[in-house]
Structure 1
Amino acid sequence: MISQNRTIGIGLSVFGCLFMFIGVLMMFDRPLLTMGNLLFLGGITFLLGIKRTKTFFFQKSKIKITSLFFLGIFFVMIGWTIIGLIIETIGFVGLFGGFLPSVLNFLRFVPGIGTITNHSVVKKISNFIGKKQELPL
C-alpha cells in the first residue's frame, strides 16, 4: 500500500509536470514554470523523503549535473526562461535519465499509451533507450 507521503509526492510531481507543460504552451510563462519547478521538487522530496532526496541530488558523481539543474531553475525564476529551461533540461536528463527505461517499460502496459509505445518507430527508439536497466538509486 502506498503511504500518504508518497501519494502527496505523486500528486505534487504530476501537478509540477502539468504546470511546466502549460508554462511552455503559454510561451514560456515564468510564473507557471516556476510553480511547476517548485511543485516537482516538493513532490520528489515527498516521494523519497528528505534524507534520500539529499543523497540523490548531492552525490559526488552528480554534483555538476545537480548544479546545472538548480541553475536552470534559478534562471527560470529570475526571468531567463528559455536559457533556464535548456540548462534545466540538461540537468534533468543527467539526473533522472536512469529512470527513463523503467518509465518506458511501464508505459508499454498502460491502455491507450501502450498502443503508441508499441508502434514500430517508437518501439525502436524506446528499445534503444531502454537497453540499460539499472536504477540510479
Structure 2
Amino acid sequence: MLGIFAFFDSALLAMGNLLFVIGVVLIIGPARAVYFFARPNKIKPTLFFFGGIVLILMKRSFIGFAVESVGILYLFGDFFGTLVQFLRNFPVIGSILRHPMVEPYVNRAAGLDTLPV
C-alpha cells in the first residue's frame, strides 16, 4: 500500500510484492504454494501476477501494477466470498456491508448470490 500512496514508487511496490510472496510461502508452505500457483486452471493468472512483478522490477510501475492486479483478482477471486463473510463480523464494516442498499451489490461482487447447482 505504501508503494501506491507514494505514486507507484517501484522500489516500494517491489518490496511489497516480495514480502507478499514470501508471506504466502511461509503461511501455506513451499509445496502448497507451488501447487497453488501451478494448478492448470491458475497458470494464466499466475503468469499475469508474476509478469506484473517483473514489470515493476523493470521500472514500469503503473503497467506492472495493473497487470499484477488482474492476476491477483483471478488468483484470489475464490476467497472474496470468505473475506466478505469475515468482514461482516466487524462492528462498523459489518453494519455497512449488511445495509439493505449495499448488501445485494456486495453479494454479487463476492459471488455469494450464485446457486451451487
TM-score above 0.5? yes
How far apart are the structure 2 equivalents of 1:55 and 1:115?
A: 37
Per-residue Cα deviation, 1:13-64 (whole angstroms, up to 9, x for no partner) = xxxxxxxx12111110111111110111111111110000000000112111
Q: 2:20 matched to which residue of 1? A: 40
Aligned identity (percent) is 38
Structure 1 residues 133, 28: CA separation in 2 closer, same or farther (over 3 Å shift)? farther
Mapping of 1:1-137 within 5 angstroms?
A: 21-128=1-108, 129-131=110-112
Contact 1:71/1:87, CA 8 A, preserved across alignment: yes
How far apart are the structure 1 equivalents of 2:115 and 2:91?
A: 23
TM-score, with normalisation over the residues of structure 2?
A: 0.89
How far apart are the structure 1 equivalents of 2:65 and 2:15?
A: 13
TM-score, with normalisation over the residues of structure 1?
A: 0.77
Structure 1 residues 35, 121: CA separation in 2 closer, same or farther (over 3 Å shift)? farther
Q: Which residue identity lines up with residue 98 of structure 1 in the other structure?
A: D
Count of residue pairs the alignment pairs up: 114
How far apart are the structure 2 equivalents of 1:90 and 1:99?
A: 15
Unmatched segments (≥5 aa) in structure 2: none
How far apart are the structure 2 equivalents of 1:133 and 1:56?
A: 25
Unmatched segments (≥5 aa) in structure 1: 1-20
How far apart are the structure 2 equivalents of 1:52 and 1:103?
A: 21
How far apart are the structure 1 equivalents of 2:39 and 2:71?
A: 14
How far apart are the structure 2 equivalents of 1:125 and 1:22?
A: 29
- 1:133 shift after superposition: 8.9
SS in 1 for 2:102: helix
**Alignment RMSD (CA, Å):** 1.7
